[in-house]
Structure 1
Amino acid sequence: TKVLTYHLARHTFATTITLSNGVPIETVSQMLGHNSLKTTQHYAKVIDTKVSTEMSALQEKLLERNKDEEDTGDMKVMKLFR
């Protein structure tokens, strides 16, 4: 088990609670009292895998939307030829 230190609590807050839930890094930086975004960007590196996962989900949504639009478009063309 890990001992909950001040640093670990701040790190968990920055990564798990704020950044991974879409809070802008500038806001997190202000909340933590950082003078520079570079300090906060250290925490952001931890959630790079989340970005990858979210981009994959977005790609799937866009592909599905494109497929739906193609299907709808095909139906419109078929109705024109009836």
Structure 2
Amino acid sequence: MDFVNLSQDNVHYINHKPWLKIKRQKTKTTAEIPLLDQAMSLIQKYRNHPLAQENERLFPRISNQRLNAYLKEIADICGIKRNLTFHLARYTFATTITLSQGVPIESISQMLGHTKITTTQIYASVLEDKLGRDMEQVQGRIGATFGKAS
């Protein structure tokens, strides 16, 4: 979980926009990721948390097991029947937040820290609704040129 090691030193500004620059623990690759407003809100929220300040981190330092326990508690409160985990959060980011919103798979691969695009392509294989929308766009583009099939 790279995020528990994030410090203010990882936040950089490019063209007045916040970016995260990190070296991945697992792959040892460097990633630069533009931060969404929602991510910056979370950073601001936890900036003064005692456990974050103690370690000079952006977020309190917690284990993967504890994080998953918190996610389970959130699921229970919200009536979500699915087993929420940190890995599922990454998966949701890759599919729902980025891929289904048109972010190129190469960019998603970089943000997730994958060293091979084939690893990221596994996420793409489940997005039938995106495939349907993509083909509707193609139909819209070629429909005027080639007319409707008879």
TM-score, normalization by structure 1: 0.67
**Please, what is the CA RMSD of the aligned residues?**
1.8
Say if 2:111 is the partner of 1:38. no
Query: What pairs with 1:46-65 in structure 2 (closer than 5 Å)?
Result: 46-60=126-140, 62-63=142-143, 65=144
Runs (5+) with no aligned partner, structure 1: 68-82
- Alpha-carbon displacement from aligned partner over 1:35-73 (angstroms, at most 9, x marks no partner): 11111000010114421332134314532x346xxxxxx
Identity in percent: 53
Whole-Å Cα distance in 1 between the matches of residues 137 and 121 of structure 2?
24
Aligned residues: 66
Higher helix share: 1
Match of 2:84? Answer: 4
Instruction: Give the SS at the match of 1:14.
Output: helix
Say if 2:109 is the partner of 1:29. yes
Whole-Å Cα distance in 2 between the matches of residues 14 and 37 of structure 1?
13
* Runs of 4 or more consecutive aligned structure 1 residues displaced over 3 Å after TM superposition: none
Runs (5+) with no aligned partner, structure 2: 1-80
Q: Which has the larger radius of gyration?
A: 1
The amino acid that maps onto 1:4 is L
The amino acid that maps onto 2:90 is R
Higher strand share: 2
How far apart are residue 21 of structure 1 and its match? 0.7
Whole-Å Cα distance in 2 between the matches of residues 30 and 54 of structure 1?
22
Does 1 or 2 have the higher relative contact order (CA < 8 Å, sep 6+)? 1
